[in-house]
Structure 1
Amino acid sequence: MSIPVLAIDDLTVRIDPPDAPPVFPVRGVSLRVEPGETLGLVGESGCGKTLTCLAAMGLLGRRVAIAGGSVRVEGRQVAPPEPGRDGARTATLRHRRMAMIFQNPSGCLNPVRSIGWQVAEAYRLRTGAARAPARRRAVELLDLVGIPEPGRRARDYPHQLSGGQQQRAMIAIAIAGDPALLIADEATTALDVTVQAQILELLRRLQRETGMAILFVTHDLGLIAEMADRIAVMYAGQLIEHGPTAAVLAAPRHPYTAGLLDALPFIDEDVERLVPIEGTVPALDRLPHGCSFAPRCGRAGIDCAIHVPTLRGGPVQAACLHPLEAA
């Protein structure tokens, strides 16, 4: 069995607000991303998807820290640092072998640097290349991600590119240096449907050509169905369902996943209104005892208010005391 590109084990993230007790937006999350595969991480806004990714990348901000668990990249632990391990060397490993595409390309690109400069800088930082070969590689990468006239567009600034071209430039920056893992965090959310399809096809093509693994983060189950080999569903900071994408979407075992699917519109169905999930996601400082989804769940029993369920079953695993029947 191959070593996972990314192995997250029992990850817990703590936020320390000023003048308030700590909260835990990510609790006990474990994920594996194998070489060459796409894992889809899905859930509502605020469920902990992005914080999980930022923790893996070592990009947590002030007052946010990993409170438990570990992160390994290609078998080597990068968080928390192992005793006696050179912290700078660990950071370099993570920096060179992992890359992340963020949600808002216009807010992530430097407005006073050309696109070519930014791609070349990423390549230099990851590989140690000199300026001239880095500039040539930047043009090659812009061509690889489908930006027309890459030699000329490399001299353009972010405001001179369309939203789709900005996202392609972000992908070029991310893949500079051939990372083993690409984390795409809501990478197509702000794009129209046509450009979105182009970006998805670009990611699939790059994966075929380079063999990189992809952690594809979204709230859109339609994109997950199109992109992911496996799916992991998050709710209120915890993983609640996991399994092969086709199996989970065909017969979800957790009521929350089933509710997400029931709320989806289908073009071939004539319905007057969609079916929402009743209730709201609990606040981090007021999480219920037992199952976090119990207050919104029609299948919840007395035991759900007492016991915290863990993932169980197979091949589709669900953290539910009263799961739906498997197909």
Structure 2
Amino acid sequence: MSLEISPAARDALEGWLDHGRALKGAADNTLTAYRTDVLEFIVFMTGYHGQPQGLGALARITVTDMRAWMANQRASGTGARSLARKLSAVKTFYRWLAEREGFEPTSVLSARSPKFTKKLPRPLSPDAAKAMIDTVEAQSVKGWVGARDAAVVTLLYGCGLRISEALGLTGKDLPLGDTLRIIGKGGKERIVPVLPVARAAVARYLDMCPHDPAPDKPVFRGVRGGALNPRLVQKVTEQARLQLGLPATATPHAMRHSFATHLLAAGGDLRAIQELLGHASLSTTQAYTAVDTVHLMQVYERTHPKAQ
């Protein structure tokens, strides 16, 4: 794909990615997604105009060009949410490129993101979250593998970690104390409390694990000793939810959602929960208030005398 674009455009793209990596601490997964999205945009413009798009051509992108690209994306089956993400990546690239090359990027920046309905988190009930952890452990015939999977899922629910954050722990984070220093998205650092049950789950796994937890090695290992693949955690969680009869939304990430929602239901402060989750914006955390409101209304309608 990269051979279809001009060397200048390719160099600009890599320069922007290097800028994000060096100055903003963007995660590798984020940068990979950015590269794919912007590269697809440049390739489309190359075909649309019938010639390689150098920096001069990229600076002359028009509103009509943007509409054509967005229409092509929708026609190819790209959903509104995905298109909004792609457009955001293109706009971010253009802000950087325009500042570096000295042109006006209004035609690109004025493109309106498609509207889509935000999906609210689907938390598990406290009993279902506990059952998920217990069932995950029972899935494996190898005792230490079951203890490993249970420890990972316990960290997701007990500490509100993202799966990448849990699997990113290394030997230097051991032994787990009362708190854990996490480097999250965008290099954002936060301190999260570690519940005794989470410390116990990790300690139990480590006692059973046949691989040495060296300081530079991941805490959670695959059977052959390499870093644990997140897909394996997703797979064992899927097996557990099927066994428990839980909906398809009962994913590893749902355990993190459950952590936040259960804290909020117990009277937790929204700003504090934002810090625990590592959300850059409070608006992201505020989605949980909608979930909790739904729960409260269900309780109200079920129990209030006037609602009968």
Give the TM-score band, short-chain normalised.
Answer: under 0.3
> 1 or 2 for the larger relative contact order (CA 8 Å, sep ≥6)?
1
Provide TM-score, normalisation by structure 1.
0.23
Instruction: Judging by fraction of residues, say which structure has more strand.
Output: 1
Provide TM-score, normalisation by structure 2.
0.24
Instruction: Judging by fraction of residues, say which structure has more helix.
Output: 2
Whichever of the two has the greater Rg, that structure is: 2
